[in-house]
Structure 1
């Protein structure tokens, strides 16, 4: 590490900050259903997830190789480019966390890296074949495969247990949820921590510290694992609420099916070097499990807003990263200006989040007063209007008194 410059040190610290935001942004992937069904208490769940994320970071480096030497060409990539990419990814993570939408930290990072690379060296700096085969195709396939698997698994669990005692069955599946949630956490550490390992390795190659094609050094693996574990322990309570209660109502059987299906997809992709989104996989599994129970429903207004956020992730992070790269190219003052902008934006988002606090004490509360709101929520809702004839927000129901005819007894409240 003796050749690390000040700029390279800034890039490494920023990468670990991204890893930290990745941890609390994606905690919902592993623990939302476990918390919503009562299988684990919220703080216990995130502590367990944090420990297993750390363990998972040491299991493989295949995804890190995809990020460090597959997505973009190493020639012409400078530490400034990587810094700009991280700025775009961090800001998108924080904005979607603020409004409680499960979006992909992985795609935010890759979108930022692609945008900054194009702004620096042009389209030729991006390996289009790798983007298609190891990013875009898994982005579509992962939620579909996980959703279908969770749907079938939910149907099977209800069919097997249709004559069993309901309380005993629920208790057994809650125990199974703890094990499956642990598997998802392990898979998340294996897949997502590697992305930060890959980006730091790419920065070290760009700075001349490592030779092209090198594997992540042990100190990179350890620091990335610790950063994502600490972020996970903080708990992304806003997104946990959306995943656990906002998309659908899950019973323990469905939660177990969703988590097991998602973990299988994530672990398989990690071994193949596919940099898929754990958020996409887990969200698809939750929706599949929601439809797998007879009478189960998915709240499609929430799902549609989530899909829009997924579609915006790559271009939004890429545009911010491209703008940041333009400024950083101006020299040291440009890097300093982007750093100040990032710190200021992060601080502003944190202060806005304090207006409506969501934490372990109210994570399962879906009352209107507790829902995150703001300009960004309104913007996403504006481009995803509900179908004609449906309420504007089917996630929440409000009970109001129905008017009674003069002289008659008051009627029961009507639900709208």
Structure 2
């Protein structure tokens, strides 16, 4: 029992570290677009997101129940003689798969799904350690796979329509390239709503994992997370969010499309609506996929904008690979546990620390921070290079053409007026010369001048 308790403590610590990586991995979901448009300063944005993630984690526990009492069949694992240590060990192995994928994609600046990394790691570890009978594939399909397919598409369509409506109902009132600066104020509200929604969905996944471990060892029976679990997960994801995750903020803010204020407002509104609806229904969807779909939809909805499909394609490949990649790492970690028992957990822990430190050291070689995240996007393979001075939109070209035509017309009018003035002056001078020739001379002769003397 003491060994099982020690493993559960390790699971809780590793789960909280995953929660921390989830925070900085997903900060971009809420704050990439308002930072890109200048609605919020980078540091202000991450502080606001951290606070709202903290609040959001207390608002709902439906997603936590999906993980702690739905996806994994505890009864199928707990029937064995060594179940008290095997189940927490498998959770530990699954978390290693999730954290490894999170750190790798963060290093690449790839906005992948922390949620699917967690699900993939847990599924892979459970398949190796307990078999397919220990997984409720009905829950996996209905509350994980289907939302992963439907939610980004739905968010993208909503963002596309919202962008069209926003640009259709408003008119540009200044000569600035961005225009519609009033939407920047609206972005503060919508991005805050996304951060709040993220707390209601993603923080609960870690709550569910910890609750699952507590149920496995018999310290808890209900799937409802305890208060200390909720508080710990809420604080940890808030701290992770405060770290920023600037690599992914750069990709979402500049890599997919050049976001304008009205466009960002529409994308954030779509993202928050989709996440809040799914949280209420208990769907453990990927907030990253929803946010990325919304940004793409808003880019398609703004006339003259350009969606960088190369970057979008790499992101979608990452989405497809997340479940199997995290599942593969989780399965390998679980295999070590099955072969070596408790010593396998120790070896897994050492390998996990080495992987985390190695990826973190590699990130310091090409550091991205609040000062350079929104500068020209680096050609790193995870994002594309953005032109410093992008070409004008069709409306801007029309305005420039109208201005040029007006200047030409004004110049023609001035030339015509000047020519008329010159012609009138010439006619006046000709008239004076003709008048001088016709009139008698009034100048005195020399004889008249001498006589007068």
Give the alignment's TM-score, normalised by structure 2: 0.81
Equivalent runs, 1:231-242 vs 2, <5 Å: 231-242=240-251
Does the alignment pair 1:90 with 2:90? Answer: no
The alpha-carbon deviation at position 397 of structure 1 amounts to 5.7
Partner of 1:279: 288
Partner of 2:353: 343
Partner of 1:333: 343
Within 1, Cα distance between the matches of 2:92 and 2:380?
A: 30
Following TM superposition, where does structure 1 have runs of at least 4 consecutive aligned residues deviating by more than 2 angstroms? 162-171, 393-399
Structure 2 contact 377–385 (Cα < 8 Å) conserved: no
Deviation sequence 1:44-91 (CA, Å, 0-9, x none): 000000000000000000000001111110121610010001000000
Within 1, Cα distance between the matches of 2:363 and 2:172?
A: 47
The alpha-carbon deviation at position 398 of structure 1 amounts to 10
Equivalent runs, 1:17-416 vs 2, <5 Å: 17-75=17-75, 76=77, 78-162=87-171, 164-165=173-174, 170-211=180-221, 213-329=222-338, 330-368=340-378, 371-372=379-380, 395-396=385-386
Structure 1 contact 161–169 (Cα < 8 Å) conserved: no
Within 2, Cα distance between the matches of 1:121 and 1:142?
A: 31
Task: Please give the root-mean-square deviation of Cα atoms over the aligned residues, in Å.
Answer: 1.9
The alpha-carbon deviation at position 152 of structure 1 amounts to 0.5
- From the CA coordinates, give the structure whose radius of gyration is larger: 2
Structure 1 contact 79–203 (Cα < 8 Å) conserved: yes
Within 1, Cα distance between the matches of 2:172 and 2:366?
A: 44
What SS class does the counterpart of residue 181 from structure 2 fall into?
Answer: helix
What SS class does the counterpart of residue 361 from structure 1 fall into?
Answer: coil
Within 1, Cα distance between the matches of 2:388 and 2:204?
A: 44
Within 2, Cα distance between the matches of 1:4 and 1:344?
A: 24
What SS class does the counterpart of residue 317 from structure 1 fall into?
Answer: helix
Within 2, Cα distance between the matches of 1:90 and 1:366?
A: 29
Within 1, Cα distance between the matches of 2:10 and 2:3?
A: 14
Structure 2 contact 173–180 (Cα < 8 Å) conserved: no
In structure 2, the CA distance between the partners of 1:230 and 1:372, relative to structure 1 (3 Å rule), is: farther
Corresponding residue pairs, total: 377
The alpha-carbon deviation at position 4 of structure 1 amounts to 7.9
Structure 1 contact 4–209 (Cα < 8 Å) conserved: no
Within 2, Cα distance between the matches of 1:236 and 1:299?
A: 21
The structure carrying a bigger helix percent of its residues is 2
Partner of 1:412: none
The alpha-carbon deviation at position 172 of structure 1 amounts to 1.6
Deviation sequence 1:203-262 (CA, Å, 0-9, x none): 100111111x43000000000000100000000000000000000001000000000100
What SS class does the counterpart of residue 112 from structure 2 fall into?
Answer: coil
The alpha-carbon deviation at position 332 of structure 1 amounts to 2.0
Within 2, Cα distance between the matches of 1:164 and 1:354?
A: 44
Give the alignment's TM-score, normalised by structure 1: 0.88
Within 2, Cα distance between the matches of 1:394 and 1:169?
A: 25
The alpha-carbon deviation at position 395 of structure 1 amounts to 4.0
Structure 1 contact 71–127 (Cα < 8 Å) conserved: yes
Within 2, Cα distance between the matches of 1:314 and 1:262?
A: 22
Structure 1 contact 98–372 (Cα < 8 Å) conserved: no
Structure 1: 5+ residue runs without aligned partners? 378-392, 400-416
In structure 2, the CA distance between the partners of 1:88 and 1:270, relative to structure 1 (3 Å rule), is: same
What SS class does the counterpart of residue 356 from structure 1 fall into?
Answer: coil
The alpha-carbon deviation at position 97 of structure 1 amounts to 0.2
Structure 1 contact 356–372 (Cα < 8 Å) conserved: no
Structure 2 contact 377–384 (Cα < 8 Å) conserved: no
Structure 1 contact 3–209 (Cα < 8 Å) conserved: no
In structure 2, the CA distance between the partners of 1:398 and 1:191, relative to structure 1 (3 Å rule), is: closer
The alpha-carbon deviation at position 314 of structure 1 amounts to 0.2
Structure 2: 5+ residue runs without aligned partners? 79-86, 390-453
